Structure 1
Amino acid sequence: MVDQAAAAVQAALDAGRTRQMVSLLLPVNEKEADFNSTEPVDYPCSLQKEFDTACALTKSLLQRLLGAGTNINAKRIDDGGVEGEPCAVLFPDDKSFLAVVFPTADRLKQLQGYAKQEGRPLLIVNPQWRNEGQVISDFGFGPWRKAADDFLATFEPSYALKEKRIGSPGTVDAATGTRFVSGGVIRLLRCYPGPWEAHAMAANGSSQFLENSPAEQGYKDLDAAIKRGRAAKLEIFAIAQQVTAVYRSSSEEEEAADGASSAAGGGAGATSEELASLSDADIEALDAASLRRLLLGMGMPASGKISKLRERVREARDA
Structure 2
Amino acid sequence: MVEELLRGLKQLPGLDGPLSARVIDDGDAVAAWEGPRLAAVLFPTGETLGDVRRIAEAHKDGLVLIVNPQWVTEGNVVSDLGFLPWARKANEELIASFQETYVLKQLRISSDDVRLLRSYPAPWQVNLARPDNPSVNECVAQLAERPPYKELEGILRGVSWSMSSKPIGERLAYEAQFVRKSLHPLPRQQQLDKGE
Specify the TM-score bucket, using the shorter chain as the normaliser: 0.7 to 0.9
The answer to whether 1:205 aligns with 2:135 is yes
TM-score (norm 1): 0.47
The answer to whether the 8 A contact 2:33-2:39 is kept is yes
What is the identity, as a one-letter code, of the residue corresponding to 1:62?
A: L
TM-score normalised by L of structure 2: 0.73
What is the match of residue 154 of structure 2?
Answer: 224
Displacement of 1:194 after TM fit? Answer: 2.5
Residues in 2 aligned to 1:71 and 1:103: alpha-carbon distance in whole angstroms: 22
For residue 75 of structure 1, what is the aligned residue in structure 2? 22
The amino acid of 1:65's aligned partner reads L
Aligned Cα root-mean-square deviation (Å):
3.3
Task: Name the structure 1 match of 2:9.
Answer: 65
Q: Say yes or no: does 1:133 pair with 2:80.
A: no
Q: How far apart in 2 are the matches of 1:113 and 1:217? A: 29
**By how many angstroms is 1:98 displaced?**
0.9
Which of 144, 152, 159 is the aligned partner of 2:95? Answer: 152
1:74 maps to amino acid: A
User: Displacement, 1:155?
Assistant: 0.6
> Of the two structures, which has the highest relative contact order with CA contacts closer than 8 Å and spacing of 6 or more?
1
The number of residues matched between the two structures is 173
Q: Determine the C-alpha separation between the residues in 1 that align with 2:135 and 2:18.
A: 35
Deviation at 1:220, TM superposition (A): 2.5
Deviation at 1:124, TM superposition (A): 0.9
In terms of fraction of residues, the more helix-rich structure is 1
Distance 2:146 2:183 in 1: 36
Matched, 1:193 2:121: yes
The SS at the match of 1:115 is helix
Distance 1:95 1:209, change over 3 A: same
Distance change >3 Å, CA 106–CA 302, structure 1 → 2: closer
| Distance in 2 between residues matched to 1:160 and 1:115, nearest whole Å | 20
Q: Which residue of 2 aligns with 1:303?
A: 184
Stretches of structure 1 that go unaligned for 5 or more consecutive residues are: 1-56, 168-182, 238-245, 247-291, 293-300
The 8 Å contact of residues 37 and 61 in structure 2, kept in 1 or not, is answered as no
Q: Is the 8 A contact 1:184 1:200 kept in 2?
A: yes
Paired AA for residue 308 in structure 1 = Q
Counterparts of 2:129 and 2:20, CA distance in 1: 36
Kept in 2: contact 1:195–1:215 (CA 8 A): yes
Partner of 1:113, secondary structure, is: helix
How many percent of aligned residue pairs carry the same amino acid?
28
Within 5 A, what are the aligned runs for 1:1-319? 57-67=1-11, 74-78=21-25, 80=26, 84-91=27-34, 94-116=35-57, 117-138=59-80, 139-167=82-110, 183-201=111-129, 205-229=135-159, 231=160, 233=161, 303-309=184-190, 311=191
Residue identity opposite 2:4 in structure 1: S
Q: CA deviation at 1:303?
A: 1.1
Give yes or no for contact 1:59–1:72 (8 Å, CA) kept in 2.
Answer: no
- Cα distance in 1 for partners of 2:66, 2:147 equals 20
- Name the structure with the higher strand share: 2
Question: Structure 1's 107 and 302: CA in aligned 2 closer, same or farther, altered over 3 A?
Answer: closer
Alignment check: 8 A CA contact 1:63 1:72 kept? no
Cα-to-partner distance string for 1:51-89 (whole Å, 9 max, x where unaligned):
xxxxxx22232233334xx986531011x3xxx322001
